[in-house]
Structure 1
């Protein structure tokens, strides 16, 4: 079936999130001029109803927000400057040029931009990305999960991995931060050391600065779709996949065919994260994207530095398999500090250690760590 494109004019285009995507992509906002994706990757989370609530296949019918650049200018003018995730390039972007127009809006208004892409079409707009990077910050992350031939089963219409790495080289050469999102790592298929190392090595050779790894996320009807592909191509992996997404839930292992959850066993996720980190270190890469502090007003940069530490601590605790309550303590503290409008340093000067303790979600232990980070920032 040929992809059908339908033009329409929505009332809004900017998604404003309650919290920034700490320790991952760092964006507070996102905007996409297209609803759906022609590439139709078989593992895509958009196949799950909780992300795509329409009654058509997201890869067969694409809705085009023809007024997206106009809306973006209007909506960005009403919010504080912060990182905006734009995308995703569709083949028809050659005709509509909506993403380019949206990038031009961000450049004019001084908004930093993060792109997460599979398409090398992004190179057409490299001039605008360079302008954004000069005025604030630009980052391009390429979604790449393997170089193996079997990828075509999962990504039948997406641009080749070779084209993505070639684009990464050009973007890196332009002085723009770039790297790889090894997301989703498909369990038992692409989670082996050899595959991960190949992606990390190629990223390093292409000028990338990081590789962030993340596990597969399911959800009906994606779950049924994903398992059907396994049955056809990797039938021996159906049972271990079902167990990975099911049996870690208390009581589910007693069922003859346990209900498959949306995420794999946390222990598996932690092991995967540690593996990506270890391999990245061998090649001098980071397993996190460095948040740009210079894009924020000088008076709150120390706040952001502390929040960065707390977000990073949260992620590392997840990899260590720490108790959920401890992980959430750091995450909530990170949100508190990240969203403060007054300077942490001023608060400390005026009220001392008690000032830190007066903040929501900040106890004595975390307050002491904040104090130490502030000293290091100085």
Structure 2
């Protein structure tokens, strides 16, 4: 086991290829080392040296005890999810899942995007879950907390293996991703689509390459996501667009253009989510704003707080996805108006009737 001294430091500058700019403190940390200038004037050099090594990504293989998580949240549209990875190298600075890295004794800042845990037995554990006598089928969501098609998926194929279990058992699955790697699995996705067992939501935050490089530095470029929408639709896969997050004074002016571009690419449905800042994410986001858009930071946070009951974040199920108040209402109105104008046809509900539990290990079962 390697023990690392976790040193917190204030961001000095943005780090190329990374979303977070520092090791934000975990809310569960029992001890925290803080970098303090000792009078020799070397603190800036020490921080720079620390940053030079810290951004490297490390993959931690693990064996999961379980793989399917259940929820009763009325605002998410599904009650179960599978996440083959913890942490995400896409490095999206706004990711609402960043605070979950605190449970692993990691920082929700740079650690979230550099310390990636891969559940090597994800497909095996999914089969175990689906084989349980009391299991009741409902669509599962794949890649909700962290993107199932982040860079490491190209080598490990854990999300593809989960899709293959869904195809084998006739289990419906919803996918959320912003990765170009999803195109690799078009064969499995097309096979699922022919049986009405899959839908894919492509997350599009901006059409501006420069902004995307700051917000989500290791995710697919905007034009690549539009290309993914088209290629999946050409293969018969139902595709929607998720404009998420909508960020005051950063990307909210692009709403109509994003929806128009995605509709032209073939997207059949559209929805949006207002920026969410749970737990440590508010510190990470404020730090990012000060580094990249200091002149807008105060006004941007003011508009967000006006949509969150005067706070950075409100976890109330009734409004956490959309917000409330004049700004949030205007965003929702613009989305509705543009959707009506463009005529998104919508995506049909997935078929639940085809599910067959997988055969027990050693049994002779059907393949597809």
The alignment's TM-score, normalised by the length of structure 2, stands at: 0.71
Contact 2:139 2:172 in 1 (8 A): yes
**Alignment of 1:200 onto 2:259:** yes
Residue pairs, 1:104-115, within 5 angstroms: 104-115=164-175
1:34-59 C-alpha deviation (Å, 9 max, x unpaired): 1110111111112235x753322111
Which of 230, 236, 240 does residue 169 from structure 1 map onto?
A: 230
Instruction: Indicate the structure with greater helix content.
Output: 1
Moved >4 Å (runs of 4+): 247-250, 262-265
For residue 44 of structure 1, what is the aligned residue in structure 2?
A: 95
1:65-96 C-alpha deviation (Å, 9 max, x unpaired): 11111000111233222111113112121221
Contact 1:39 1:156 in 2 (8 A): yes
Secondary structure of the residue aligned to 1:41 is coil
CA distance in 2, matches of 1:105, 1:127: 14
1:175 deviation in Å?
A: 1.3
1:265/1:71 CA distance change after superposition, 3 Å: closer
Which of 284, 298, 315 does residue 239 from structure 1 map onto?
A: 298
Secondary structure of the residue aligned to 1:63 is strand
1:210-264 C-alpha deviation (Å, 9 max, x unpaired): 22111000023211111122122222322223323445777x6xxxxxx633468
**Alignment of 1:80 onto 2:136:** yes
CA distance in 2, matches of 1:150, 1:185: 13
CA distance in 1, matches of 2:274, 2:340: 20
Secondary structure of the residue aligned to 1:48 is helix
**Alignment of 1:152 onto 2:208:** no
- More displaced stretch, 76-85 vs 176-185: 76-85
Contact 2:178 2:219 in 1 (8 A): yes
Gaps of 5+ in 1: 253-258, 298-378
For residue 266 of structure 1, what is the aligned residue in structure 2?
A: 324
CA distance in 1, matches of 2:187, 2:308: 49
CA distance in 2, matches of 1:276, 1:216: 15
The alignment's TM-score, normalised by the length of structure 1, stands at: 0.69
Contact 1:13 1:32 in 2 (8 A): yes
1:10 deviation in Å?
A: 1.4
1:353-374 C-alpha deviation (Å, 9 max, x unpaired): xxxxxxxxxxxxxxxxxxxxxx
Secondary structure of the residue aligned to 1:181 is strand
CA distance in 1, matches of 2:84, 2:281: 24
Contact 1:112 1:133 in 2 (8 A): no
Contact 1:48 1:218 in 2 (8 A): no
Residue pairs, 1:111-150, within 5 angstroms: 111-148=171-208, 149-150=210-211
Gaps of 5+ in 2: 1-54, 315-319, 355-368
For residue 62 of structure 1, what is the aligned residue in structure 2?
A: 116
Contact 1:114 1:140 in 2 (8 A): yes
1:169 deviation in Å?
A: 0.4
1:42/1:166 CA distance change after superposition, 3 Å: same
1:19/1:134 CA distance change after superposition, 3 Å: farther
Residue pairs, 1:1-378, within 5 angstroms: 1-18=55-72, 26-48=77-99, 53-56=103-106, 57-78=111-132, 79-87=135-143, 88-148=148-208, 149-192=210-253, 195-246=254-305, 260-262=312-314, 266-267=324-325, 268-285=327-344, 290-292=347-349, 294-295=351-352
- More displaced stretch, 265-274 vs 178-187: 265-274
- Alignment length, in residue pairs? 282
Contact 2:197 2:350 in 1 (8 A): no
1:293/1:158 CA distance change after superposition, 3 Å: closer
- CA RMSD for the aligned pairs? 2.3
1:294/1:70 CA distance change after superposition, 3 Å: closer
Contact 1:111 1:132 in 2 (8 A): no
Question: Higher relative contact order at CA 8 Å, sep ≥6: structure 1 or structure 2?
Answer: 2
1:249/1:113 CA distance change after superposition, 3 Å: closer
